[in-house]
Amino acid sequence: MYSDQKMIKRVYYKALLPNMIAILGGTINVFFDGIMVGQRMGELGIASVNQSLAVYLLLCTAGSLIAAGSSALSALAMGDNRQQESKDYYSLAVELAFVIGICVCCVGYFFCPQLARFLGSDDSAAMVETYIRITLLGGVFKVLLYVPYFYLRLEGRAQKAAVAMTTMTVLNIVLDYLFLFVLDMGIAGAAWASNLGTATACIMSFYFLTEKDSSFRFHFIRPKWEMIRKTVRTGSPMAANNLFSSLRLLCLNSIMNLAGGSSMVAVFAITNNLNEFSICIQNGVPQAGSAMMGIYNGEQDTLSVKKLLKLQLEAGAVLSILFAALLILFSPWIGILFGSTQDVRWPVACLAVGIVVATVNSVMSYYYYAAMRTAISNVITITRVFAAAVGTAWLLRGTGNGIWLFYCLGELVTLLLWVTGCLIYSRVKQGRANLFLLDETALKEGKSISFTVACDAAAICEASEKIQEFCGDNDFDAEQTMTISLALEELMVITSEKSMDHQGTMDVRILRLPEGGILRIRSEGRRYNPLNDADDENLEFLGVNMIKKMAKRTEYQSTLGLNTLIVYI
């Protein structure tokens, strides 16, 4: 029996690359639209795509608000063993995404000419109107896509999401080339390529959620106002990221135009495309663990929460530094890639440094979002995405190339503000400076214990015997202690044999509650629920059947691609 929590590391890194690929599939559409439109139509074309991004981000705002909010609440409900409520939030997300997506696209389509004049310049307004009109025709798919994307991660099937998003990416690139260079459809071709790729990924993702081993199946529900309110509130940090990214784009385009005219706007379009490309790191690193974080938070498992946060910060630091180094190394050729003759080395260098700090800020924003500290997450998001970036760019507008320092200075300002704010807040509320803002009472009072057990009979028996000391320290009576010890031994032996072939390890956690306690056994291996096989006539499962009768309640969950057995004492 030992406490290494290696399962968290394996599950997180297993989800990291597929999640980054999935996000890359979304952002790379914009990236390749910029490259191909720039190569085919020049700087005016790439500027038009960049100015149209505000509408794309508005659709992303609607989708992320619903999907992020509902999936976080589903994860929390799973961690707190409210499985039906978890499934209801999925169905609510599908209904809301469809209705809101249709409404937003219809209203936006009606006001396309006005939007184009507002977003574009005199030279680009016609191109912008064409791009956003076509974008809105397929906009409902952009909104809906977020729902299966978030829930596939919650199920531990990030690979499926990656397959769908990779398909979207490849299809978008192929169609971009076909529509722009072969059929000569102009900027409309880029918009149609993005629409068709997104619709394909959306349909594929929902199909993956209908497979027989899926925990989430759509069923019509009558939405309750309280569920909608919670969804909106919880999803607000993710929505704020997209909404304020849209506002940031509007403001920075204007500031760049004021500072250096169309040439500086074109350079900003290039760096903004690179920044969108880096979202696979900035958001991919924390998103890979956000579902896990929500479940552990629901379980009040503060040790696992801290372990997971450390993994995210380490992965984010390594990946962002590597990406920044590559940007700086290849900066002399980036302008040529986008069809520009301007020197973009300094703007790209400023962006590269900013991405490293931005990743740290993003990881912490997602952490507070999963920990249900929504207000703090919103403050970090709005500050880094909009207020600090636009504010520093405005202050630097008269410094020539010095304006590009806004990429790194804005992130540094954000970092200083949230660290200072959280330390002051925790000092006032908890009496000590603490960035985690977790309720660690159970851990400090010795009312919870977490450990890892190897999948062999000797290790399992040893754990069953040693756990009695914890039970004695926490005043479990003899019957409760026997139930915990028997449940630990029987369930782990059966799981080791039937699901894991006596290989690997299982994570165990026991939490003392005022009215009893909870035992959780989490394992990898094949999906398997021993509680289904327990009956009076099956002697092999006699011990499991005894546990079901002795415990207040027993449950099984399949989340994050893991088997979780829960025994209420």
Which DSSP string do the residues of 259-274 spell out, in sequence order? HHHHHHHHHHHHHHHH
Three-state DSSP state, 528: coil
Which pair of tokens denotes residue 319? 């990946």
The amino acid that residue 176 corresponds to is D
Number of Cβ within a 10 Å radius of residue 123: 11
Using the Cα atoms of residue 469, residue 470, residue 471 and residue 473 in order, give the sign of their dihedral. Answer: positive
The Cα-based distances of 212 to 200, 209, 216, 219 in angstroms read 21, 8, 10, 15
Least confident among 125-134, 456-465, 527-536, 560-569 = 527-536
pLDDT of residue 416: 96
pLDDT for residue 281 is more than 90: yes
The Cα-based distances of 269 to 204, 224, 252 in angstroms read 31, 43, 10
Across the range 97-104, mean pLDDT stands at: 92
pLDDT of residue 77: 85
CA–CA dist 362, 240 (Å, integer): 13
Across the range 1-25, mean pLDDT stands at: 77
pLDDT for residue 383 is more than 90: yes
Instruction: Report the candidate in 100, 113, 24, 112 with the shortest Cα–Cα distance to residue 59.
Output: 100
Question: What proportions of the chain, in percent to the nearest 5, are helix, strand and coil?
Answer: 75, 5, 15
Q: How far apart are the first and last CA of the chain?
A: 22
**pLDDT tens for each residue of 151-174:** 988 888 888 888 998 898 889 889
Burial of 526 (0-12, 13-18, 19+ CB in 10 A): exposed
Match 């599939």 to its residue by tokens. Answer: 25
The residues near 433 (Cβ < 8 Å, ≥ 6 apart) are 423, 426, 427
CA–CA dist 507, 459 (Å, integer): 13
Using the Cα atoms of residue 169, residue 171, residue 172 and residue 177 in order, give the sign of their dihedral. Answer: positive
> To the nearest whole number, what is the mean pLDDT of the chain?
87
**Do residues 256 and 264 make contact, with C-beta atoms less than 8 angstroms apart?**
yes
**Strand (E) or helix (H) holding 163:** helix 158-177
Which pair of tokens denotes residue 211? 């497979």
pLDDT for residue 227 is more than 60: yes
CA–CA dist 454, 184 (Å, integer): 62
**pLDDT tens for each residue of 434-475:** 888 887 777 778 888 888 888 888 888 888 887 888 998 999
pLDDT of residue 1: 46
CA–CA dist 393, 74 (Å, integer): 39
**Max CA separation in the chain (angstroms):** 83
Most confident of 46-60, 139-153, 308-322, 469-483: 308-322
**pLDDT tens for each residue of 204-225:** 999 998 887 777 888 888 888 8
pLDDT grade for 2, boundaries at 50, 70 and 90: very low
Phi-psi region at 303: left, alpha or beta (left = phi > 0; alpha = psi -120 to 50)? alpha
The residues near 397 (Cβ < 8 Å, ≥ 6 apart) are 255, 258, 259, 403
The residues near 445 (Cβ < 8 Å, ≥ 6 apart) are none
**pLDDT tens for each residue of 128-155:** 888 888 989 998 999 999 899 889 888 8
